[in-house]
Amino acid sequence: MSLDAGQAGQGTPRKRADSVRNEQVLLAAAAAVFVGSGVDAPVREIAGRAGVGVGTIYRHFPTRADLIIAVYRHQVEACAEAGPALLANTESPHSALGQWVDLFVEFLVTKHGLAAALQNDRDGFDALHTYFVDRLVPVCAHLLQAAVAAGEIDADIGAYELLRGVGNLCAGEGKDPQYNADRLVKLLIRGLARPAPRRG
Amino acid sequence: MSLDAGQAGQGTPRKRADSVRNEQVLLAAAAAVFVGSGVDAPVREIAGRAGVGVGTIYRHFPTRADLIIAVYRHQVEACAEAGPALLANTESPHSALGQWVDLFVEFLVTKHGLAAALQNDRDGFDALHTYFVDRLVPVCAHLLQAAVAAGEIDADIGAYELLRGVGNLCAGEGKDPQYNADRLVKLLIRGLARPAPRRG
DNA sequence: TGGTAAAGGGAACGTCGCTCCGTTTGACTA
DNA sequence: TAGTCAAACGGAGCGACGTTCCCTTTACCA
């Protein structure tokens, strides 16, 4: 096994600054391209958007699966961190929940691509899936809780249940032009809202 | 819908002889290549095996889905016709059943490829699927019946059930090197056999 | 048997994933 | 601060692919 990584700060911080910067840029570019063109998007498109050469991509992510996995973890993390941030910056918790679910839906594109890319590696996929569940369910639960506390929604749905439902709504998205998952998800979230007290 | 095909023999038999011959050759070649290299096999490989140019393939089957559908129908038909033939030419009906299931398994490669190629067209796929069931279940039932009549197997399994079971055993075949569907199918068929009467 | 439209064949084009290697650059040392 | 050097970069280039285009061949009918 190689302990070469230079984060423990033994004597020499190995990673060059431009390298770590490019890795971040690549993850962001790949995420955007996946959402726009699917996970089968050409490598050159990702490189172009990131403003780097294709060689750089292959240096950081030797296989397409490596790239997808990295984007996936990156997005799980970003999605998880966005939850509390949205809650803090948005007046209504229910609205924050809606915005957060939008992020979640975008991210599902990568997740579904991941499943296709890891057909061979059931174990690897399962590991990433439990990571995904463990990381995001609490965030969603937190948002739900806040909305309940604010009296905006009822407390009759669980976080896992909601995420699972949204995920299922997005299954097969993009295949059938008749089917628009986004719209259905929006409706679902709107349906969570407690009816406003009648005025009169 | 186009009724252009020239089989009703109005005035002029439109189709040229070499055209129909090449179409048959192409279907056979494509079927063989699909089994050997999967449904994503290069067009040139199919053309090469058929001994024709790539242009000829595109003339007959403008899209890959067209080709796969045609191979699929062709194989369903061939598989259906092979049932009675095997029964007539093989001493033991149970053995005939085994050989027939081998054909069926080969054919499943195309069927699974079909599902992938027709993601957009759920209706088209469903139509082909019911065609497949309607055509092959009776053939399988006939083989089972013969084996039962010969006292080689028990009558406790239905044709649909058996085909479904074989189909499920073959799901995901080729992805995981640990998993060999062929072997399991063989075991399943062998398991149908009635134990030979004890001697002694 | 000759004319003709259908069918065939395959070179050629554009795109893709991926590699390879000359060039650039960040980081460490003297 | 200047010099050194390995790590990182970029993109031309390779081989393989799907698809098209057009010239050649051929089966059919009068």
Range of the domain at A172: 70-192
Partner A contacted by B16 (CB < 8 A): no
Per-residue pLDDT band at A8 (split at 50, 70, 90) = very low
**CATH code at A42?**
1.10.10
User: Could you tell me the distance in Å between the CA of residue B43 and the C1' of nucleotide D21?
Assistant: 17
Contacts of residue B168, defined as CB under 8 A and 6 or more positions apart, other chains included, come to none
Q: What is the pLDDT of residues A107-130, one digit of tens each?
A: 887 787 777 777 667 677 888 888
Distance CA A111, CA A117 (A): 10
Query: How buried is B185 (Cβ within 10 angstroms: 0-12 exposed, 13-18 middle, 19+ buried)?
Result: buried
Number of CB atoms found within 10 A of residue B132's CB = 21
Q: What CA–CA distances, in Å, run from A149 to A118, A128, A139, B37?
A: 40, 32, 15, 58
pLDDT exceeds cutoff 60 at A5:
no
DSSP secondary-structure letter at B130? H
Backbone angles phi, psi at A151, to 5 degrees: 75, 20
pLDDT exceeds cutoff 70 at A172:
no
Most confident of A18-27, A170-179, B104-113: A18-27
The structure tokens listed for B89 are 């030419």
Partner B contacted by A199 (CB < 8 A): no
**CATH code at A83?**
1.10.357.10
Share of chain B above pLDDT 70, in %: 86
pLDDT of residue B106: 86
| Facing residue for B122 by CB, picked from A119, A122, A176 | A176
Calculate ∠ Cα B119-B120-B123, nearest 5°: 95
B78 and B164 housed in the same domain: yes
Residue A142 lies inside a defined structural domain of this protein = yes
Number of structural domains in chain A: 2
Higher pLDDT, B118 or A191: A191
B39 and B79 housed in the same domain: no
Partner A contacted by B176 (CB < 8 A): yes
B57 and B87 housed in the same domain: no
pLDDT of residue B9: 38
Distance CA A39, CA A25 (A): 17
Calculate ∠ Cα B180-B183-B189, nearest 5°: 140
The structure tokens listed for B174 are 């080729």
User: Could you tell me the distance in Å between the CA of residue A20 and the C1' of nucleotide D23?
Assistant: 56
A87 and A119 housed in the same domain: yes
A-chain residues near B176 (CB < 8 A): 120, 122
